[in-house]
Structures are given as structure tokens and as C-alpha cells.
Amino acid sequence: MKVTIVGTGYVGLVTGACLAEIGNDVFCVDVDPRKIEILNNGGVPIHEPGLQEMLRRTRAAGRIQFSTDVKASVEHGDIQFIAVGTPPDEDGSADLQYVLAAARNIGKYSNGFKVIVDKSTVPVGTALQVRRVVEEELKARGLDASDKHGFSVVSNPEFLKEGAAVDDFMRPDRIVIGIDGDRAGDVAREKMKRLYAPFNRNHERTLYMDVRSAEFTKYAANAMLATRISFMNDLSNLADTVGADIEAVRRGIGSDPRIGYHFLYAGCGYGGSCFPKDVQALAQTARENGHTLRILEAVEAVNSDQKEVLVNKITKRMGEDLRGRTFAVWGLAFKPNTDDMREASSRRIVEALLARGATVRAYDPVARDEAERVFALDLVDRPEDMKRVHFVRTQQDALAGADALVIVTEWKEFKSPDFAHLKSALKLPVIFDGRNLYEPEAMAELGIDYYAIGRPHVELDRNGQANAGN
């Protein structure tokens, strides 16, 4: 099938590569010539495991192309995926300007029946706005949407985890498709069924529903996952106060199959391109319709506060004035296996350390360049602070001359370090762990002063016995 992907970000590139992998003829278009140049030269503008190899195969097979030619992209695909960004506006609502611009181009250059697929995360009612924009453009051309230039707007939200997006697309747990119940919708349903047939061979994964419900489903899914994270983070702070171990609590409640273990890890807050903006957008949709989603407003507030918890532990141990102190920071991306720095907890934590006069030596296996770019923007009005953050190339380089280690992202290479070397490299044997990678008693036995999230601080007495305290 001939497919067009509008937008070459995480969702667009993964969608295009995976659809090309299974044999479709895919045309990826973007208004950013820099991205297209990178892709045409064999590179990838984002880090996503497995994506570059897949693009190499599909490009060599002639099943995927990249261009800034909007007219050619519309003429190419019977199915037009809109996979552009929907950044938050000041009030938290999703900014649809890029979605509607893509829709306008489809109407402007349409050369036949088009299935227009909203792949971007968009609020309820967006499909109707897309429909109106396309109709306006067709009308301006003197064309009737009911003739051969007809179209159907479909909602097909993505459920891709950054760092595992290729696998999520190729082995989906569900495919949600929202379609209008009219003649054009019937045509669109058959085309979408054919497109996704390779993913349904073992068993049917597609869930068909109305468009508004499909749009709602995406926000509801991310809001639920964000809620679980904030719930555990809120509990972790109480565990700190009462002397409980949040990891023991997690195992205790996660063993209940009605609850499960997914997204029950306490940490230093969620980030990324989805959870923060989707929680805000759904809450804003509720306000616009006269409702208050009190749980989601609490989820957002807890997450914002959680990004300060690790800093509070640092200042409690080392004082508010951190001038003359150097901190090694392991992990900058908002999660492992990505270079995405959007809403990353590291941004708040590093900026807070710098504001107190500290020097930071930061390391991330993948996000180093992106982090340097982002911090340069974040600290554009604080040039003296920017001089005190150094982006290094190895985790050992980060430790050099540092007073203590701060762990922000749970990359695999951080899970089993050489603790003897780590201890000797630090001026003080202190770790502030925002992801609970290690066991407090084991750290105490190694002579490391270890502070985690919602876990007791353990010290050794004179007899070498571990004693837990708050």
C-alpha cells in the first residue's frame, strides 16, 4: 500500500519504518530540511534502538523515501498519517497548529480519496477540526468532498514507549482505530484493516470504536500510567517519614494481579514527550467542558514536587550552600534507551544544584549532545551557572573530583558498577539514588552513605551491623 507519513519525529519515523518493513511504499515528509538531509544521508535524528537498522534495510529496498515536498507527499499516499508534534499551550491544552497545517496541505493537494489518520496525540474533537479544514481547502479548489476527492478522518493513536518503540509497533498489544460510521468510513475501515493485517495474523489486536472514543483512549492510557507513578512517588515520601521501605511495599502490592508491577517504581518523577503534556491536556479538556479531574491535577502536582525530592536529600546531607561542591550526575535523558530530554528530571535537579553554587559533571550514554543543547537553552540567562556544568564522555569521568554521586536515569550500565572504584574516586562515599538501583544494606556494608527514594537510610554500627534510620 502507498502510505504517507507527515512528520519525522519519534512517532512518524517509527511508524514509517515499520510500515515499510512489512512491505508498504512509504513517503515521509517533514518541513525541517535538516531532518530530511540527515535521513537521506543514512542518519537518524533521534536515538531509538533498532530504528537505524530498519531504515537502512527499507531504504535499500526502495520502500521508504524522505522529502520536504509536501505536494508530492499528498499525491503519493492513499493513507495519510499525521504524526506531527502537539506541544502544550500556556493553559496546558494541546497546540494543534501543526496537525491542522498538515490537514490543510492534504486538502490543498489531494488527488483522490484519502484516509487521513490522526497518529499524533490529539484531544477529543480534533478529527472534526481536521475534517473541516480539509473540506475548506477542497471547496476553495471547487471540489466536492463527496466525489472522487472524498476522504475519511481516522483516529489511530500510538502506544509506543520511547526506547522500545520499534518492538511496540511490530508486536502491538492493541491497535486502536476510531472511524466514522458512514460510507467513507467503511472505505477507510477496509484500508486500515488491510494495512494492519500483518499485525493481526496470530490473533486480532485491533479495537474498532468511534473517533472520539479513540482520541480519548490515548489520553486516558497515559493518564493512568502517570497516575500509578505519582501514586508510588507520593507513597515513597510517606515511607521516608515513617521508616517503611517502598520497594518492599511495591513487591507486596504488585503481587496482586489486579494491581501488577508495571509503573509502580518510585523515583524522581516522570518526564518525556507524553505523560506531562497528556496529563495537562486531558485536565484542560475537562476544564473546558465544565469538569475537574481532581486526580489528574494531583498527579501533576505530585510529579512536579517529586523532582525536588532528590535535591532536598542532597541539601539535608550537605547543606543548602553547595559552593565548592562537585556532583557527578549519572543519567540525563528522561528514561533509558533514548536521548529525549523533554521534561527530564535531570533538568530540574542539575539546575537546582547549580543555583546553590555546585559544579556538576554529567554523563549520559546517549543524551550527552542533546543535554548540552537543552541546558544551553535552559541556562541562557545564567551563563555563570552554565560554566559549572560539564558534560563528560564516561561514567568514570563524571566521578573525577566529585564529592558525591547523583543517579537520575536508570541506564543498565549503572546497575552494577565497580563500587570499590566508585568509592575511591569520590571525595565522599555518598550516593543519592533517584531510581533505587541498589540495596541500602549492601551499600552500608561497602561503607557507602546511600540515600534512595522511599527507602531507609542504613548505617553500620561499631560491630558492623546495619541499622536503619530515617
Query: Does 265 belong to an annotated binding site?
Result: yes
Query: Does 332 belong to an annotated binding site?
Result: no
Number of H helices, E strands in the chain: 19, 16
Q: How far apart are CA 254 and CA 27, in angstroms?
A: 44
Selection from 202, 179, 201, 203 nearest residue 191 by Cα: 179
Query: Does 263 belong to an annotated binding site?
Result: yes
Query: Does 218 belong to an annotated binding site?
Result: yes
Query: Does 342 belong to an annotated binding site?
Result: yes
- Give the E-state strand segments of 224-285 in sequence order: none
Length reported for the chain: 470
Q: How far apart are CA 71 and CA 85, in angstroms?
A: 20
Query: Does 8 belong to an annotated binding site?
Result: no
Query: Does 86 belong to an annotated binding site?
Result: yes
Among 18, 28, 268, 274, which one carries the catalytic annotation? 274
Query: Does 412 belong to an annotated binding site?
Result: no
Question: Residue 26 in 3-state DSSP?
Answer: strand
Q: Let me know: does 264 contact 254? Beta carbons within 8 Å.
A: yes
Query: Does 19 belong to an annotated binding site?
Result: no
DSSP assignment of 207-227, as one string? EEE-HHHHHHHHHHHHHHHHH
User: How far is Cα of residue 189 from the mean position of the Cα atoms in its chain?
Assistant: 29
Query: Does 159 belong to an annotated binding site?
Result: yes
Name the β-bridge partners of 458.
Answer: 468
| Residue with cell string 544521508 | 41
C-alpha cell of residue 215: 482520541
Q: How far apart are CA 239 and CA 247, in angstroms?
A: 10
Residue 413 main-chain phi, psi, to 5 deg: -70, -10
C-alpha cell of residue 401: 573530583
Sign, Cα dihedral of 455, 460, 464, 468: negative
Query: Does 256 belong to an annotated binding site?
Result: no
Selection from 303, 244, 295 nearest residue 271 by Cα: 303
Query: Does 121 belong to an annotated binding site?
Result: yes
Query: Does 125 belong to an annotated binding site?
Result: no
Q: How far apart are CA 301 and CA 234, in angstroms?
A: 10
| Residue with cell string 515513597 | 236
Query: Does 30 belong to an annotated binding site?
Result: yes
Query: Does 9 belong to an annotated binding site?
Result: no
Q: Compute the chain's Rg from CA coordinates.
A: 25
Residue 274 is among the residues annotated as catalytic for this protein: yes
Q: Let me know: does 80 contact 115? Beta carbons within 8 Å.
A: yes
Q: What are the C-alpha distances in Å from 422 to residues 310, 417, 444, 455?
A: 20, 8, 14, 21
Query: Does 48 belong to an annotated binding site?
Result: no
Query: Does 391 belong to an annotated binding site?
Result: no
Q: Point out the annotated binding site for substrate.
A: 159-162, 218, 263-267, 271, 335
Q: Point out the annotated binding site.
A: 30, 35, 86, 121, 159-162, 218, 263-267, 271, 277, 335, 342
Catalytic residues: 274
Q: Point out the annotated binding site for NAD(+).
A: 30, 35, 86, 121, 162, 277, 342
